C-alpha cells in the first residue's frame, strides 16, 4: 500500500509538471488571440446574465400573483371548514354531556347494586347459620324424644320386672311347701310327738333367755343387712349417676373446647382479615395515587402524539428502504444503518433545516469500509433492489470543522451541533453536513451568507443559501415528510410509553372492583366478629353448665363418701353379731343335747338338731330367697321411682320452642333474601337499560368524534396547504428580491449606472475600472460516495454574489442586440446554469492561459521526456497494485486456512468432550454421568477471544470451573486431555500424579479408562501411557510396574520392573 501511494504521488507530480510544460509550449501562440476572445466572452456573459435575470424577474412576478390568488382561495376554504368544525364540536359536546349523564345514572345503579350485594352475602351467611341451628335443634329434639321414649319403655319394663319378681316369690314359696310335703322327713308318732313337745318346752324353758337374746341379735342382724343393702344400692346408684355426670361433663368440655377453638380460629382469621383489609385499603390508596400519576402521564403522551400526528403511516418507499437496510445488516457485519436513523435532532424546529442540509445524504447508508460498501452494492444488484448511496467511514475524506463557526452569534449554530450522534459515525456526519449553519430567520441567513465571510446557511423554513449566493427555497410535501422521519424514533418511544402506561392502568384495575373487595372484606370481618361473639356465648353457657355438673358431681361424691363408712360399719356389726349369735347357738345346742339325749336315741337320730336342721335349713333357704326377692324388688322400685321423678317432657317442649324460634327466624331471613334478590333484579334490569342507553350515546359520540376528526384532518390539510402556499409565496418573493439583487450586482460589476437604454451596448464596450471578477465555487460533491451504476453525482456550482446598492440602476433599460439568438431563447435552470458555466469556464480558461503564457523554447523536448517518464510510472503503479493484491489474497487465504483448521479441531473436541466426560464420571447411581461442553466467546472471530470450558459433575448444579473442587477439576482436565488426543493422537501419554486430588472412586474410574484405551489400536482411539502414581488403584490395572529407588552404595537411582501381563490370564 505504501508503494502504491508513493507511485500515485509521483504520477500526480509528473502530471502537474507535464501540464505546466504543455502550457509553456502553447502560451506564446495563444497570448494575443486570447486577449480579444476574453473581452468578447466577458461582454457576452454579462449580457447573458442580465437577459435571463430579467426574464426570471418577470416569471417570479407572475408566479407571485398566482400564489396570492391561491392563498386567498385556500383561506376562504379554511374559514368554511372552521365553521363546520365548530358545529361538529358543539354537537360532540352535547352528545358527550348526554353520555356523561347516562354514565352517572349507570354508576348510581351500579352503586345501588354493589350496596345490595354485601347485604345478600350477609343474609346468605345468616341463613346458613340459622339452618345449621335449626338442624341442631331438630337433632336435639329427636335425641330428647328418644330419651323420653326410652324412659317410658324403662318404666314399663321396671313395672313388669316388679310384677315378675312378685309372681316368682309366690311361686317359690308354693313350691317350697309342696316340696316339704313330698320330702322324706322324719315322721314321729303321737307319743313321740308329745315327748318331743314336752322336752321342747323343757328345753325352751331352760334356753328361753338364750333364745330370746339370740332372736334379738338375729332381728338386729336382719335390720343391719337390710340397711347395708340399701346403702350399697344407694352407692351403686350414685356411682352410676357419677358416670353419667362424667360423660355429660366430657361432652360439655368438648363443646367448650370446640367453642374456644372456633373462637381462636375465627379470631386468627379476623386478625388476618383485618390485615388484609388494611392492605387492601393501602393498596387502593396507592392505586388511586398511581392511577392519577399514570393518567397525567398518559394524557401528556397522548397530547404529544396528537400534536405530532402520530397516526400517519409510513410511505411504501420508506418501508422498503428500512427492509433493505435490515437485510444488509443481516448479511454484512460492517453495515451501521441509514444516516437518518443514526442521528437525532435535539429540537423539532431544526428538523426541516437539517433535512435540507443533508440533502440526498439523508438516506445514505453508513458502512465501515469500502469493501463492505462494494459487497452491499453487489447484493443490491443481485436482488434487484432500489438504488442506495453508501458512506464508507474508513475512506471518506472530510475537512475539519472551523471552530469559529460555533461562535457566530445570534441564533446561528453549526448543523452538527443541533443533532446527537454516536462518535463512531462522526466522520459520516461531518461529510454530510460539513460547515453548514442553521439559523432561525431568513434575514439572519442572508446576513451570514452575504456578509464579509460567506457561509452555507439554512433557515428554519428550509431556505438554503449557498456560498455562491444561490438561494434554494420552498419546501415540498416530500421534504416535510423526510423531516418528519427524525421524529419517528421519538414517536415510537411515545407509543411504547403510551402502551406501557395503558398496561399499568389495566393492571391497577377498576376503582369499583377495589371498593367491592373492601366491602367484601369488611362484611367478612363483621361475620367473623358475630361468629366470635356466638362462640363466646356458647362457651360461657357450656362453662356455666359444666360448673353445675361439677357441683352436682361433688355433692354425689360427698354423699358416696358419707355412705361408704356406713356400709363398712354395717359389715363390722354384722360380723360381730354373727359371732355372738353362733356362741348363743352353741350354748343352746349344748342344753338341748342334754335334754334330748334319750329322745334322740329313741327316735333314731344322733341329735335332735338333725331333725331341726333339716327343718331350719329349709326355713333358712326360704328366708334367704325371700330376702333376695325383697332386695330385688327394692332395687326395681328405687329405679322406677327415679325414672318416674325424672322429667323428659320439658326439655322436649323447650327444644320444640327453640325450633319454632329458629323456623321463624329462617322464614324472616328467607323473606329478606327474596326482598334483596328482587331489589338486585330490579337494579340489574335498570342497569342493563342504562348500559344500552350509554352504548347508544357512546356510539353517537364516537361517530361525531370520527366526523370531527375527519373535519380536523381536512382542516389541518387545508391549513397545511395554506401554510405551504404562504411559504411558496414568501419563497417566490424572496426569489424575486434575490433576482433583483443579482441584477444590481451584475450592473454594478459592469459599471452601467451611467449608460442610457439606447446605447447600452456601447457603454458595455467602454466600461472602465472593472472590479473584482465574479468568482465561482463548487459545492463539493465528494467523489467517495459509493453509488450504483445508474446514479451519478450531480455537481452543484454556485456563483459568488456580493450586494451593493446603487441608485438608478434598477430601472435601467439595456440593449441585447449583441447577444446571440441561441442565448436569448428560453432555458431551464439546468440549461442556463450549464450555459453560464460554459461561458465562465471559457473565460476562466482564457484568463488562466493569459496569466500562464511565458514562451519557453525547450518546452517541446521537455514535454516528450515527461510523457516517457509518465509511461514508466504507470507501469510501476500497475506492478505495485498487483503486488498489493497478491499479498492481500495470501493474507486472507492464510487467515481462512487458520480459522478452518482451528474450527475443525474445535468442532471435533466439542463433539467428543461430553461422551468422554460422561464415561469418566459414570457411576452406579448415575449411569448417564456428568455433562461437559466447550463454547467460543466469539463465533465469528475465534482468535480474538477465548474458549469457555464448562463441566457439571453428576448430581451437581451448574457452576463455573473456578468453583469446582480439585478432584472435579482434575477429572474435567483429563476429559479435555483425552478429547484433544482423540483429534490428533500422540504415541503415548506420561501422566505425573494426575490422581493427587482424586478420591478412590474417581481414581478407579480414571485407571479403568486408561486401561481400556491402552488395549485399543491407535486407529480406534487407543494410546500407550506411562502413569506416575502413589495410589494402588493404578497398580492392579497396569500392564507393568516400574519402581525407582536410591542405591546407597552407588549413591544413584536404580529401577525395578515387574511384568503383570502373565498374571492377567
Secondary element (H or E) of residue 413: strand 413-414
Dihedral angle computed from the Cα positions of residues 14, 17, 18 and 21, in that order, rounded to the nearest 10 degrees: -160
Residue 757 has a pLDDT of 32
CA 713 to chain centre: 39
The DSSP symbol for 1031 reads S
Start-to-end CA span in the chain (Å) = 72
Q: What predicted TM-score, i.e. pTM, was given to this entire model? A: 0.30
Instruction: Give pLDDT tens digits for 506-527.
Output: 776 666 676 777 777 777 777 7
The rounded Cα 723 to chain-centroid distance in angstroms is: 48
For 411, the 3-state DSSP assignment is coil
SS3 content of the chain, % helix, strand, coil (to 5): 75, 5, 20
Reply yes or no on whether the pLDDT at 86 is more than 60. yes
Average pLDDT over residues 925-930: 76
d(CA 1044, CA 1046): 7
Task: Provide the Cα torsion 408, 414, 420, 423; round to 10°.
Answer: -100
Strand segments, DSSP code E, in 696-846 are 776-779, 796-799
Contact status, residue 88 vs residue 708, Cβ threshold 8 Å: yes
pLDDT computed for residue 794 by the predictor: 40
Contact between 358 and 416 under an 8 Å Cβ cutoff? The reply is: no
Query: Cell numbers at residue 933, please?
Result: 461442553
Asked whether residue 852 carries a pLDDT value surpassing 70, the answer given is: no
Count CB atoms within 10 A of the CB of residue 887.
Answer: 11
In the predicted structure, residue 299 carries a pLDDT above the cut 50: yes
List, in order, residues 6 or more apart from 401 with CB less than 8 Å away. 414, 416, 430, 434, 435
Q: Which residue has the cell 382469621?
A: 269
Contact (Cβ atoms closer than 8 angstroms) between residue 718 and residue 725: no
> Is the model's pLDDT at 582 over the cut of 80?
yes
Q: Is 847 exposed, middle or buried (0-12, 13-18, 19+ CB in 10 A)?
A: middle
Q: Pick the residue with more confidence: 781 or 669?
A: 669
Phi, psi of 619 (to 5 degrees): -65, -40
Q: Are 462 and 438 in contact (CB under 8 A)?
A: no
pLDDT range class, residue 782, cuts 50, 70, 90 = very low
- pLDDT bucket at 755, cuts 50 / 70 / 90: very low
Secondary structure (H, E, C), 148-216: HHHHHHHHHHHHHHHHHHHHHHHHHHHHHHHHHHHCCCCCCCHHHHHHHHHHHHHHHHHCHHHHHHHHH
Could you say which DSSP state residue 607 is in? -
CA 377, 383, 388 angle in degrees (round to 5)?
40
Which element (helix H / strand E) includes 1024? strand 1024-1028
**Average of pLDDT values for 231-258?**
81
Q: What is the pLDDT of residue 366?
A: 92
- Mean pLDDT for the stretch of residues 112-138: 76
Q: Is 1051 left (phi over 0), alpha (psi -120 to 50) or beta?
A: left
Long-range pairs for 553-562: beta carbons < 8 A, 24 or more residues apart: 553/242, 553/245, 553/246, 553/249, 556/238, 556/241, 556/242, 556/245, 557/242, 559/234, 559/238, 560/235, 560/238, 560/239, 560/242
What angle in degrees, to the nearest 10, is found between the helix axes of 190-206 and 208-307? 80
**Which pLDDT score, from 0 to 100, does residue 147 have?**
78
Asked whether residue 868 carries a pLDDT value surpassing 50, the answer given is yes
Report phi then psi at 138, rounded to 5.
Answer: -60, -40
Angle between helices 1000-1014 and 859-921 (to 10 degrees): 120
Q: Cα–Cα distance between 415 and 345 in angstroms, integer?
A: 10
> Distance between CA atoms of 111 and 1057, rounded to whole angstroms?
101
**What are the backbone angles phi and psi of residue 396, rounded to the nearest 5°?**
-70, 145
In total, the chain counts a number of residues equal to 1065
Amino acid at each position: 500500500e505504501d508503494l502504491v501511494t508513493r507511485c500515485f504521488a509521483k504520477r500526480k507530480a509528473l502530471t502537474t509538471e507535464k501540464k505546466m510544460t504543455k502550457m509553456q509550449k502553447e502560451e506564446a501562440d495563444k497570448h494575443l488571440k486570447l486577449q480579444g476572445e476574453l473581452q468578447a466572452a466577458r461582454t457576452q456573459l454579462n449580457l447573458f446574465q442580465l437577459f435571463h435575470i430579467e426574464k426570471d424577474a418577470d416569471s417570479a412576478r407572475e408566479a407571485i400573483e398566482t400564489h396570492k390568488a391561491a392563498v386567498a382561495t385556500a383561506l376562504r376554504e379554511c374559514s368554511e371548514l372552521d365553521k363546520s368544525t365548530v358545529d361538529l364540536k358543539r354537537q360532540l359536546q352535547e352528545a358527550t354531556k348526554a353520555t356523561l349523564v347516562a354514565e352517572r345514572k349507570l354508576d348510581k345503579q351500579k352503586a345501588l347494586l354493589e350496596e345490595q350485594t354485601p347485604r345478600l352475602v350477609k343474609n346468605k351467611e345468616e341463613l346458613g347459620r340459622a339452618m345449621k341451628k335449626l338442624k341442631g335443634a331438630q337433632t336435639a329434639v329427636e335425641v330428647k324424644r328418644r330419651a323420653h321414649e326410652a324412659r317410658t319403655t324403662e318404666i314399663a319394663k321396671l313395672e313388669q320386672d316388679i310384677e315378675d319378681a312378685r309372681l316368682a316369690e309366690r311361686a317359690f314359696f308354693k313350691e317350697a311347701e309342696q316340696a316339704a310335703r313330698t320330702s322324706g322327713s322324719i315322721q314321729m308318732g303321737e307319743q313321740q310327738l308329745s315327748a318331743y313337745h314336752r322336752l321342747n318346752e323343757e328345753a325352751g324353758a331352760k334356753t328361753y333367755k338364750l333364745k330370746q337374746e339370740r332372736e334379738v341379735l338375729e332381728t338386729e342382724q336382719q335390720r343391719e343387712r337390710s340397711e347395708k343393702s340399701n346403702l350399697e344400692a344407694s352407692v351403686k346408684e350414685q356411682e352410676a349417676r357419677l358416670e353419667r355426670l362424667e360423660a355429660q361433663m366430657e361432652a360439655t368440655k368438648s363443646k367448650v373446647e370446640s367453642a374456644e377453638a372456633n373462637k381462636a380460629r375465627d379470631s386468627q382469621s379476623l386478625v388476618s382479615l383485618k390485615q388484609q383489609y388494611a392492605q387492601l385499603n393501602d393498596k387502593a390508596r396507592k392505586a388511586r395515587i398511581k392511577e392519577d400519576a399514570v393518567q397525567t402521564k398518559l394524557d401528556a403522551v397522548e397530547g404529544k402524539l396528537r400534536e405530532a400526528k402520530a397516526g400517519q403511516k409510513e410511505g411504501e418507499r420508506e418501508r422498503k428502504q428500512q427492509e433493505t437496510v435490515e437485510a444488509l445488516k443481516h448479511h454484512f457485519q460492517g453495515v451501521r444503518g441509514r444516516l437518518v436513523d443514526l442521528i437525532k435532532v435535539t429540537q423539532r424546529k431544526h428538523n426541516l433545516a437539517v433535512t435540507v442540509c443533508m440533502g440526498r445524504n439523508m438516506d445514505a447508508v453508513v458502512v465501515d469500509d469500502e469493501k463492505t460498501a462494494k459487497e452491499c452494492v453487489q447484493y443490491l444488484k443481485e436482488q434487484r433492489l432500489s438504488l442506495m448511496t453508501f458512506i464508507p467511514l474508513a475512506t471518506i475524506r472530510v475537512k475539519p470543522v472551523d471552530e469559529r463557526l460555533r461562535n457566530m452569534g445570534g441564533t446561528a449554530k453549526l448543523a452538527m451541533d443541533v443533532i446527537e450522534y454516536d462518535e463512531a459515525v462522526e466522520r459520516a456526519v461531518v461529510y454530510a453536513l460539513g460547515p453548514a449553519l442553521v439559523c432561525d430567520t431568513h434575514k439572519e441567513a442572508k446576513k451570514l451568507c452575504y456578509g464579509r465571510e460567506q457561509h452555507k446557511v439554512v433557515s428554519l423554513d428550509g431556505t438554503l443559501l449557498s456560498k455562491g449566493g444561490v438561494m434554494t427555497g420552498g419546501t415540498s410535501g416530500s421534504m416535510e415528510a423526510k423531516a418528519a422521519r427524525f421524529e419517528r424514533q421519538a414517536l415510537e418511544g411515545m407509543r411504547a410509553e403510551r402502551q406501557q402506561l395503558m398496561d399499568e392502568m389495566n393492571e391497577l384495575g377498576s376503582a369499583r372492583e377495589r371498593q367491592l373487595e373492601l366491602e367484601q372484606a369488611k362484611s367478612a370481618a363483621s361475620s367473623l366478629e358475630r361468629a366470635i361473639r356466638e362462640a363466646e356465648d356458647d362457651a360461657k353457657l357450656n362453662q356455666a353448665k359444666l360448673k353445675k355438673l361439677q357441683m352436682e358431681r361433688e355433692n354425689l361424691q360427698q354423699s358416696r363418701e358419707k355412705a361408704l363408712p356406713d356400709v363398712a360399719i354395717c359389715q363390722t356389726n354384722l360380723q360381730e353379731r354373727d359371732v355372738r349369735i353362733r356362741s348363743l347357738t352353741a350354748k343352746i345346742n349344748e342344753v338341748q343335747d342334754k335334754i334330748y339325749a334319750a329322745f334322740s336315741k329313741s327316735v333314731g337320730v344322733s341329735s335332735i338338731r338333725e331333725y331341726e336342721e333339716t327343718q331350719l335349713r329349709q326355713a333358712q333357704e326360704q328366708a334367704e330367697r325371700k330376702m333376695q326377692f325383697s332386695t330385688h324388688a327394692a332395687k326395681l322400685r328405687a329405679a322406677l321411682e327415679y325414672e318416674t321423678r325424672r322429667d323428659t317432657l320439658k326439655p322436649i317442649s323447650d327444644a320444640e320452642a327453640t325450633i319454632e324460634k329458629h323456623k321463624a327466624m329462617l322464614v324472616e331471613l328467607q323473606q329478606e333474601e327474596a326482598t334483596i334478590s328482587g331489589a338486585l333484579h330490579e337494579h340489574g334490569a335498570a342497569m342493563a337499560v342504562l348500559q344500552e342507553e350509554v352504548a347508544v350515546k357512546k356510539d353517537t359520540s364516537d361517530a361525531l368524534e370520527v366526523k370531527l376528526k375527519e373535519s380536523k384532518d381536512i382542516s389541518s390539510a387545508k391549513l397545511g396547504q395554506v401554510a405551504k402556499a404562504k411559504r411558496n409565496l414568501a419563497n417566490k418573493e424572496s426569489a424575486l428580491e434575490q433576482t433583483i439583487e443579482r441584477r444590481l450586482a451584475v450592473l454594478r460589476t459592469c459599471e452601467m449606472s451611467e449608460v442610457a437604454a439606447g446605447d447600452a451596448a456601447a457603454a458595455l464596450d467602454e466600461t472602465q475600472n472593472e472590479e473584482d471578477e465574479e468568482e465561482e465555487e463548487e459545492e463539493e460533491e465528494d467523489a467517495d460516495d459509493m453509488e450504483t451504476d445508474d446514479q451519478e453525482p450531480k455537481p452543484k456550482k454556485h456563483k459568488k454574489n456580493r450586494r451593493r446598492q446603487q441608485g438608478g440602476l434598477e430601472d435601467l433599460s439595456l440593449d441585447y442586440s449583441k447577444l446571440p439568438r441561441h442565448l436569448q431563447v428560453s432555458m431551464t435552470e439546468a440549461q442556463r446554469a450549464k450555459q453560464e458555466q460554459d461561458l465562465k469556464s471559457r473565460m476562466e480558461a482564457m484568463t488562466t492561459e493569459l496569466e500562464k503564457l511565458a514562451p519557453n523554447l525547450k518546452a517541446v523536448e521537455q514535454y516528450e521526456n515527461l510523457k516517457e517518464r509518465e509511461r514508466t510510472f504507470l507501469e510501476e503503479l500497475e506492478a505495485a497494485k498487483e503486488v498489493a493484491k497478491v499479498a492481500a489474497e495470501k493474507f486472507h487465504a492464510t487467515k481462512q486456512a487458520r480459522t478452518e483448521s482451528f474450527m475443525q479441531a474445535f468442532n471435533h473436541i466439542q463433539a467428543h468432550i461430553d461422551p468422554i466426560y460422561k464415561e469418566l464420571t459414570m457411576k452406579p447411581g448415575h449411569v448417564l454421568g456428568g455433562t461437559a461442553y466447550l463454547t467460543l466467546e466469539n463465533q465469528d472471530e475465534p482468535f480474538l477471544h477465548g474458549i469457555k470450558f464448562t463441566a457439571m459433575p453428576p448430581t451437581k448444579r451448574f457452576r463455573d470451573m473456578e468453583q469446582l473442587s480439585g478432584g472435579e477439576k482434575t477429572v474435567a482436565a483429563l476429559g479435555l486431555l483425552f478429547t484433544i488426543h482423540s483429534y490428533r493422537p500422540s504415541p503415548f501419554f506420561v501422566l505425573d500424579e494426575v490422581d493427587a486430588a482424586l478420591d478412590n472412586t474417581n481414581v478407579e474410574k480414571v485407571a479403568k479408562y486408561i486401561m481400556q484405551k491402552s488395549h485399543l489400536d491407535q486407529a480406534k482411539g487407543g494410546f500407550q501411557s506411562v502413569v506416575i502414581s502413589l495410589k494402588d488403584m493404578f497398580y492392579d490395572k497396569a500392564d507393568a510396574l516400574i519402581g525407582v529407588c536410591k542405591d546407597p552404595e552407588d549413591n544413584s537411582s536404580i529401577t525395578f520392573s515387574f511384568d503383570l501381563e502373565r498374571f492377567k490370564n
